[in-house]
Structure 1
Amino acid sequence: MSFNYPIVAMAHYNQWQNNNLINAADQVSDEDRQRDLGAFFNSIEKTFNHILWGDKIWLSRFGDFSPPRTTSLEASLSEGGTWEEFKAERRTLDQKMIEWTSQFDINTLPSEIKWFSKAINQEISRPTAILLPHLFNHQTHHRGQIHAMLTRLGQKPGATDLPFMPDVDTYL
């Protein structure tokens, strides 16, 4: 098994789960997707937008990806625009992440990445080997919040466990 296996598998998992939750979110009204349901970023749409924003920030730190349009945590909640614009951008970025991980070479990345965190208002440096899993962990964390909000609205998204991902064995 190569080092790329978990990174490629997680990029595919990311796409699978984004599609899973977007399809469930398409079944609720615009009003319900935008309603404050008590989650950290309030609504389904705002949480989806924050994930998109976070993915874009981290990918731009790792390589040749465009940074997000918005520059603050608060503005991240509208990163994707309208629901239809968000879905198109999310699907495009998911495919780019798969392509990037499929050609991934850890040796082309710096051993550490340094950035200024507005969340804690200071410069930070962390090993790239920690930040790569963080990209996927961050997505999963916030998708769990979306899943809970969708469940509250009576939706039942599909399976979320990695072993149940279609064709999971192809990434070995």
Structure 2
Amino acid sequence: MTDRTYCRTMSRYNAWQNKGLWDVLKQMDEADLAADRGLPQGSVLGTLNHLLWLDQMWLSRLFKVKTPDVAHDKTAQMTPTTAAWWAERFRADGALRMWADTLASVDLHGDLAFWSLTSQSDVIAPRDICVMHMFNQQADLRAQVRLVLVGMGQALPPTALFLMPRD
């Protein structure tokens, strides 16, 4: 179901979308981005921090990189500013692309065992389903942030996958 082409495409898409958000965020007032907007982690920055943490957690499971140093209940405060967020986001997106670029389709077979903070239990799940979940989670949380940013009067770049620049 999931193969390395999908992973490479989606990792590129993730990086492209995050760069588009950064281009908008860097021109905005930090206080506006830190204000509670009713998002899953309160603010725009808090929700983007949480997504960054989630991506780092998935990378630690899939690519054996270091787990994030931030506790699950502190993810919204992972970085204090959008500039700090972008620096960490850029590194995580690079790691995600490196994982996808070095992936063999066989690496997506089998199960992934991990401790789930959501269910507070050990989980064994198909690796390809976990990968799809990671990419869907990215799109879902970014969509929620984008909705708030549009409500704040921001013009946002397109999200259509077919408009993604080719490398």
The verdict on a shared fold, with TM-score over 0.5 as the criterion, is yes
Q: Could you tell me which residue of structure 1 aligns to residue 137 of structure 2?
A: 138
Deviation at 1:49, TM superposition (A): 0.3
- Please show how residues 10-25 of structure 1 align to structure 2 within 5 Å: 10-25=10-25
CA–CA distance in 2 between the matches of 1:158 and 1:83? 18
CA–CA distance in 2 between the matches of 1:123 and 1:100? 24
CA deviation map 1:110-132 (0-9, x unaligned): 71112222222222111001011
Report the TM-score when normalising by structure 1.
Answer: 0.89
Q: How many residues align?
A: 166
1:34 aligns with 2:28: no
CA–CA distance in 1 between the matches of 2:80 and 2:64? 23
Deviation at 1:40, TM superposition (A): 1.7
Q: Which amino acid aligns with 1:64?
A: K
Q: Provide structure 1 residue ranges, at least 5 long, that are not aligned to the other structure.
A: none
**Compared with structure 1, are the counterparts of its residues 28 and 99 closer, same or farther at alpha carbon in structure 2 (3 Å cutoff)?**
same
Q: Could you tell me which residue of structure 2 aligns to residue 127 of structure 1?
A: 126
Do the aligned partners of 1:62 and 1:109 also contact (CA within 8 Å) in 2?
Answer: no
Q: Which amino acid aligns with 2:25?
A: A
Moved over 4 A (4+): none
Q: Could you tell me which residue of structure 2 aligns to residue 62 of structure 1?
A: 62
1:116 aligns with 2:115: yes
Do the aligned partners of 1:25 and 1:150 also contact (CA within 8 Å) in 2?
Answer: no
Do the aligned partners of 1:57 and 1:68 also contact (CA within 8 Å) in 2?
Answer: yes
Q: Could you tell me which residue of structure 2 aligns to residue 52 of structure 1?
A: 52
Q: Which amino acid aligns with 1:62?
A: L
More moved, 152-161 vs 104-113: 104-113
Do the aligned partners of 1:8 and 1:98 also contact (CA within 8 Å) in 2?
Answer: yes
1:88 aligns with 2:87: yes
Report the TM-score when normalising by structure 2.
Answer: 0.92
- Please show how residues 72-83 of structure 1 align to structure 2 within 5 Å: 72=72, 74-83=73-82
1:98 aligns with 2:97: yes
More moved, 63-72 vs 77-86: 77-86
Q: Provide structure 2 residue ranges, at least 5 long, that are not aligned to the other structure.
A: none
CA deviation map 1:88-118 (0-9, x unaligned): 1111111121122111124346711122222
